[in-house]
Amino acid sequence: MASGNDSIKKTITVALSLCFVCSIFVAAAAVGLKPIQESNKDLDRKTNILSAANMLDPNRSVSEVFSTIEKRLVNLETGSFATQAELDAAGIDLDTYVQRDASRNPALSIALSGENDPAAIKRRVKFATVYLVKSGDTIDRIILPVHGYGLWSTLYGFMALEKDFSTVIGLGFYEHAETPGLGGEIDNPNWKALWKGKEVYDAQGKAVIGLAKGAVDSSDPEASHKVDGLSGATLTSRGVTHLVQYWLGDNGFGPFLAKLRKEGV
């Protein structure tokens, strides 16, 4: 009996020791891979920003092209570029600021609910990142981060606008969990190409861009503001409309873009 107990104890000891050693290797691998993972994540972000702005160049690296882009923060409360004093008061470092993290920080965001949250994001940052492509002091195009809820997930993407701050260059989503073949068609290059040249604002300055029910009728007076809806994905289509109208509207980048149109940089 004693010999059997000793055998069981040895088996358990060996198993526990093996688990412990394996956990050390797994932890070490995770730590070692983290810099690589962060680097890949940063490259993916830059690639998506350049893609939305139609700036990817097969003859130049992503890092080289991205180095021509200027990152700024916008105070969404004032509709102006954030001043250094405002950033210092909020404890924000431009180089390390992560907007998604800030949206979960009550000190750096505001709570949204009901009709004030059409994009279903729950919280909106006080300071939002924008990316500028400039010629001297003139902004040639601007890239804005946008996000909102679809059917199954939050859609994260970037929208790029021409120097009139109203005409769309491109829209692309880099993270979502929508249904492949339905809502997942937001990744379809043919659908994404439909956004180019669309107008965000109507004559009164209201953000009216969005998805149509089905294909856009070219004879529709609102056709310049509409993109084909996603077949079989009504809720995803509605979510895309809500998120672009929210972020380009009065509670998002709208006042900031209006100021740029009126005053310039």
Domain presence at residue 76: yes
Contact 232, 214 (CB under 8 A): no
Predicted pLDDT at 41: 80
- Name which of 73, 195, 71, 199 is nearest 133 in CA terms: 71
Domain presence at residue 4: no
Domain presence at residue 61: no
For tokens 């059409």, name the residue.
118
- DSSP annotation of 13: H
24 CB-contact burial (10 Å; exposed 0-12 / middle 13-18 / buried 19+)? exposed
* The model's pTM: 0.85
Domain presence at residue 43: no
List the structure tokens of 193: 């190409």
- DSSP annotation of 167: B
Contact 125, 102 (CB under 8 A): yes
User: Cα separation of 227 and 213, whole Å?
Assistant: 9
- DSSP annotation of 215: S
Binning the chain into helix, strand and coil, the percentages to the nearest 5 are 40, 25, 35
Domain presence at residue 42: no
- Name which of 181, 191, 251, 261 is nearest 226 in CA terms: 191
What is the domain extent for residue 81?
68-263
Please state the domain count of the chain: 1
Predicted pLDDT at 35: 67
Domain presence at residue 221: yes
Predicted pLDDT at 40: 84
- Which parts of the chain register pLDDT below 70? 1-6, 9, 14-17, 19, 21-23, 25-35, 264-265
Domain presence at residue 8: no
Domain presence at residue 186: yes
- Name which of 125, 160, 142 is nearest 71 in CA terms: 142
